[in-house]
Amino acid sequence: MSPLLQTPEESTAPSRSRRKLARTTMGLERDKKRHGDVEDRRGDTLVDEIGIATTAPAPNGVDLVQESVSLIEYVARLGDFRSTQRQECYSLVRRMKSLLPLFDEIRFLGSAIPPNGIASLSKLKKVFCLAKKLLKTCNEGSKIYLALESEAMMVKFHAVHEKLCQALDELPFDEIEVSVEVREQVELMVTQLRRGKRRKDTQDMELAVDLMAVSSKTDERNADIAIIERLAKKLDLNTVENLKKETIAISNVAKERGQTSECIEQIVEILNKFKQVFGMEVIDVFEDPVKPKLLLKPGSLVIPHEFLCPITLEVMRDPVIIASGQTFERESIQKWFDSNHRTCPKTRERLGHLSLAPNHALKNLITQWRETNNYKSPNTEGLASPQGSSIKQEEISSLVEELSSCQLKVQRRAAKDIRMLSKENAESRILFAENGAIPALVQLLTYPDSKIQEHAVTALLNLSINDTNKKLIANEQAIPTIIDVLRNGRMESRENSAAALFSLSMLDENKVTIVLSDGIPALVELLEQGTVRGKKDAVTALFNLCLNQANKARAIDAGIVPPLLLLLKDKKLNMVDEALSMFLLLVTHPQGRYEIGQLSFIGTLVDIIKKGTPKNKECAASVLLELSSNNSSHILAALQFGVYEHLVDISETGTNRAQRKARGLLQVMKTSDQLP
């Protein structure tokens, strides 16, 4: 058997068991050669057979074992999974692989498998088919769709876990003479599955913040390049190659769900924003998703994507090939290796060596194309500024030097220019940091000049989009100073300080620094006093910080609940979803349930469930379910406000998530004898 399929238990099993397992694998390989690849011929149709009466002959025990092992081998070869479901996928594959010793022993039974054993094995194979379909979706599916539907996918994983437990419980271990050792391994796995609690995936919750901002129809910043870049990076959709694959995946989802569904429209809008930021041509994904795309520079010619470095997305000057066979700009890949990376940035595979081989053929093609089209690369001619001019390396150094000028006017202008140049160009963020802009900008945060302070904090916000810069900014002790600006600066400076704290808080160590520097009370104050944009910046930063359980209590102590309630009541602010998302975090903390579980709040939730948008109803039902699951008096209060008929309606016509929450609330009512 391939080492990929070996489990820890197998490596420590007695030699007799290992010999058995080897014979099993060889036997299965012989059977596969005689009968063809069972997985290829039948695997994709097995799911359709689940739960459907059939007149096919009764399954044979040996065939069931063979097909089950083939399914396990198939999912073990799937490789990487989408980041939003990666942990669940690897866990499920690991569970399935741990059952191989069981099939080994069944394979070599001295007697025939009894009928109830055949029935149990058949049921177990059907569960494997469901698992295969789910894992294939997480391996090949749209990354944007899986991020938006992360909770629905989690429900599917739990359904597979439950069915797997049921199938294994029904196995007649005594009758099929399975050894005590293997039986104990299976029983332990079932116990672990049943004991496991639903995981609160913090990455998914962080993704929700950016997805909400990018998808918003009312947030004026929903096209903010910084937010779109950050979201694209989280979803691993920040290269031309991956965006091309995502386009095809979305087209496949649209064929299944219908092009006009609200979910598909939202996915396509997000995809198009990613493409615009990375310079790709935006086309109709439903017409020809497989058609090769070329990078389109605004106001310029079409650039073949093969000429672009996958890291910088700029035309390469000195293309080199690395051990994975992929080509990169020499300078970019060298920086990657110098940062202690030993993997290919494109394929993620571990590299056998770090040697760089010049790609002369591609370099000649690029040179000919440059001459034919009179193309001048931004890398050699300078970084394009928002005004259409260019800035060279010498000018970057000059701007950084001017930050330390003795003339206030010069400092102000330099800080403003760095702010503008770092907003839209990823390369400029690296170059400014490498030339020492971060320490100089941090120094300017303490200046009494309000415009310098505003430009400096906003420039740091833009620079912080780069993960390396996040660390550099924190190392310069900038976080306490940014919080001071958040408390005492002008309103725009305060807003951008809150946005900077959100960006910096993506690193866990920075979360700690923000909290220890009293960042939470300062953010709550902006939530109370700020403009609409300031409130959005504050609640976004607070959301990210409150992913930590201890910080929920800190936010409550700082007085976060009253301003959140105002956001729910003031519909003109268009921040109901943001407020409800924050409440959903707080309600998982005992102190939070006590603070917000008042009669008036229940009435507000019910009002939103009655009259809100589909998304509002979904969030409100989620909060009410969390409250009611811990205290039945809350569901009784909701019934008194007339929630029942609206929950019934949502359970049938709401969004997928809203339907699940509404059904959960109806179940809570039933178990607590509160149904009308």
Amino acid 128: pLDDT: 92
| 257 and 328 share one domain | no
**Shared domain check, 184 and 74:** yes
410 — pLDDT class (breaks 50, 70, 90): very high
**CA 145 – CA 85 distance, rounded (Å):** 12
68/137 same-domain check: yes
Q: Confirm if 668 and 625 have CB atoms less than 8 A apart.
A: yes
Domain of 224, in residue numbers: 203-278
User: Which is nearest to 479 in space by CA: 403, 415, 545, 533?
Assistant: 545
Angle 417-421-426 from CA coordinates, rounded to 5°: 155
Residue 562: φ, ψ to 5° = -55, -50
Does 110 lie in the same domain as 212? no
CA atoms within 13 A on the CB side of 3: 0
The answer to the question of residue 465 being in a domain is no
Residue at 172 is within a domain:
yes
Q: Which residues pair with 327 in a beta bridge?
A: 321
The residues near 184 (Cβ < 8 Å, ≥ 6 apart) are none
At 420, list the tokens. Answer: 């503008």
Residues 6+ away with beta carbon under 8 Å from 46: 67, 125, 126, 129
Q: Is 330 in contact with 319 (CB distance < 8 Å)?
A: yes
The pLDDT value recorded for residue 52 is 32
Partners of 25 in beta bridges: none
190 and 68, same domain (yes or no):
yes
Write the pLDDT tens digit of every residue in 560-610.
999 999 998 887 888 888 899 899 889 988 888 888 877 688 999 999 999
Residue 333 lies in a domain: yes
* End residue of a domain, out of 373, 404, 428: 373
Q: Point out the domain boundary residue: 200, 218, 248.
A: 200
Asked if residue 252 is part of any domain, the answer here is yes
**Cα–Cα distance for residue pair 27/579, rounded to 1 Å:** 60
310: nearest Cα among 278, 264, 337, 287: 278
Residue 270 inside a domain? The answer is yes
In order, the DSSP letters of 230-265 are HHHHHTT--SHHHHHHHHHHHHHHHHHH-TTSHHHH
Does residue 520 surpass a pLDDT of 90? yes
What is the distance between the alpha carbons of residues 201 and 85, in angstroms, rounded to a whole number? Answer: 9
Beta carbons of 580 and 620 less than 8 angstroms apart: yes
| Together in a domain, 227 and 120 | no
For the chain, the average pLDDT equals: 78
Cβ neighbours for 577, distance < 8 A, ≥ 6 positions apart: 212, 615, 616, 619
pLDDT score at 262: 67
pLDDT of residue 296: 42
Which of these, 493, 574, 654, lies nearest to 152 by C-alpha position? 654
Provide the 3-class DSSP secondary structure of residue 298: coil
How much is the average pLDDT of 115-131?
A: 89
Query: Which residues, including other chains, have CB under 8 Å from residue 325's CB and lie 6 or more apart?
Result: none
Residue 19's pLDDT is 37
Is residue 120 a part of any domain in this protein? yes
Which of 184, 200, 216 terminates a domain? The answer is 200
Q: How confident is the model at residue 524 (pLDDT cuts 50, 70, 90)?
A: very high
181 and 248 housed in the same domain: no
Residue 293 has pLDDT above 70, yes or no: no
pLDDT score, position 472: 93
- Total domains, the chain: 3
Q: Are residues 118 and 151 in the same domain?
A: yes
Q: Check pLDDT > 90 for residue 159.
A: no
362 pLDDT tier (thresholds 50, 70, 90): confident
Q: What is the pLDDT of residues 173-200, one digit of tens each?
A: 877 777 888 888 888 888 877 776 544 4
Residue that has been written with the tokens 């769709």 in this structure = 145
Q: Measuring CA to CA, which residue among 212, 180, 167, 215 is closest to residue 579? A: 212
* Predicted pLDDT of residue 302: 64
User: How many Å apart are CA 596 and CA 599, to the nearest integer?
Assistant: 9
Are the CB atoms for 498 and 526 separated by under 8 Å?
Answer: yes
* CATH number for position 359: 3.30.40.10
Within this chain, do residues 190 and 217 fall inside the same structural domain, yes or no?
A: no
Between CA 533 and CA 493 the distance in angstroms is 12
Q: Percentage of the chain with pLDDT > 90? A: 23
Distance CA 524, CA 565 (A): 13
Looking at residue 257, its pLDDT comes to 67
Residue 353 CA to residue 324 CA, distance in Å, equals 9
Is 27 within a domain? no
What are 489-519's pLDDT values in tens digits? 999 999 999 999 988 988 888 999 999 999 9
In tens, the pLDDT along 46-59 reads 333 333 333 344 45
- Measure the CA–CA gap between 84 and 150, rounded to whole angstroms: 7
Question: Looking at the predicted structure, is the pLDDT value of residue 339 above 90?
Answer: no
pLDDT per residue as tens digits for the range 215-243: 665 444 444 666 787 788 888 887 878 88
| Model pTM score | 0.56
Residues contacting residue 674 through CB under 8 Å, at least 6 positions apart: 632, 635, 636, 639, 668
- Same domain for 210 and 181: no
Instruction: Assess whether 196 and 75 both reside in one domain.
Output: yes
Verify that 80 and 208 share a domain, yes or no: no
- What are the two backbone dihedrals, phi and then psi, of residue 539, each rounded to the nearest 5 degrees? -70, -30
Answer yes or no: is 69 within a domain. Answer: yes
Mean pLDDT of the 624-628 span: 90
Buried b (16+ CB within 10 A) or exposed e, 46-82: beeeeeeeeeeeeeebebbbbbbbbbbbbbbeeeebb
Which of 561-582 are b and which e, b meaning 16 or more Cβ less than 10 Å from the residue's Cβ? bebbbebbeeeebebbbbbbbb
Residues forming beta bridges with residue 384, ordered by sequence position: 390
Residue 3 CA, chain-centre distance (Å), reads 30
* Residue-wise pLDDT tens digits, 436-470: 999 999 999 998 889 999 999 999 998 988 888 99
